[in-house]
């Protein structure tokens, strides 16, 4: 299975908050188009999220995880910055199997750690900035195609 991936612009942070914490204001620009948002959140076309930024908010019984541009995250929040985002071009049918396996197996062999996020339409892989070139080279050698956005 050969896939096309694109490298999203910017650097991302992966954040962990308590399971019962409210979604913080700094993470909400992409959730509330038309609502007020922090002036420091750069936008395109005046709509939060319209510039291709990736924001993922996941709540479980154990935690609230937020992946967003690193510039959004206050220093006091538990986080890990310096991640780049690879988007699997889709949409992908939910009945497809082996999508992540086709990507993760070669990356694991190359010792590239990842953070994966899936949506209804596609999958996203976050890799540390310093491993982006190795990840891209590894995926191309495995038969996939990488495009810049």
Query: What SS3 state is found at 28?
Result: coil
Domain limits for position 80 = 4-148
Q: Check: pTM over 0.75? Answer yes or no.
A: yes
CB 128 within 8 A of CB 12: no
Cα(131)–Cα(107) distance, rounded to whole angstroms?
A: 10
Phi/psi at 106 (nearest 5 deg)? -65, -35
pLDDT digits (tens, 9 = 90+) for 31-70: 444 444 444 344 333 333 445 678 999 999 999 999 999 9
Confidence of residue 116 (pLDDT cuts 50, 70, 90): very high
The percent of residues above 70 in pLDDT, for the chain, comes to 83
* The total number of structural domains that make up the chain: 1
Residue 45 has a pLDDT of 35
90 compared with 80, residue with greater pLDDT: 80
Confidence of residue 115 (pLDDT cuts 50, 70, 90): very high
Confidence of residue 112 (pLDDT cuts 50, 70, 90): very high
Give the CATH number, domain containing residue 28: 3.30.2130.10
Other C-beta atoms lying within 10 Å of the C-beta of residue 80: 15
Question: Rounded to the nearest 5 degrees, what angle is found at the Cα of 103, between the Cα atoms of 137 and 101?
Answer: 155
Residue 52 has a pLDDT of 60
- Give me the chain's average pLDDT, please: 87
User: 3-state DSSP helix/strand/coil percent for the chain, to nearest 5?
Assistant: 20, 35, 45
Other C-beta atoms lying within 10 Å of the C-beta of residue 81: 16
């Amino acid at each position: 299975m050969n896939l096309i991936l694109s490298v999203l612009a910017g650097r991302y942070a992966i954040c962990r908050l308590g399971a019962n914490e409210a979604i913080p204001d700094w993470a909400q620009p992409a959730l509330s188009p038309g609502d007020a948002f922090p002036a420091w959140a750069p936008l395109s076309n005046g709509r939060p999220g319209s510039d291709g930024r990736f924001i993922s908010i996941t709540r479980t019984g154990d935690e609230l995880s937020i992946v967003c541009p690193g510039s959004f995250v206050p220093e006091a929040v538990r986080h890990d910055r310096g991640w780049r985002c690879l988007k699997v071009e889709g949409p992908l049918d939910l009945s497809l199997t082996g999508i992540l396996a086709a990507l993760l197996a070669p990356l694991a062999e190359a010792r590239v750690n990842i953070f994966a996020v899936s949506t209804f339409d596609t999958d996203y892989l976050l890799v540390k900035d310093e491993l982006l070139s190795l990840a891209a080279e590894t995926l191309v050698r495995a038969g996939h195609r990488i495009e810049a956005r």
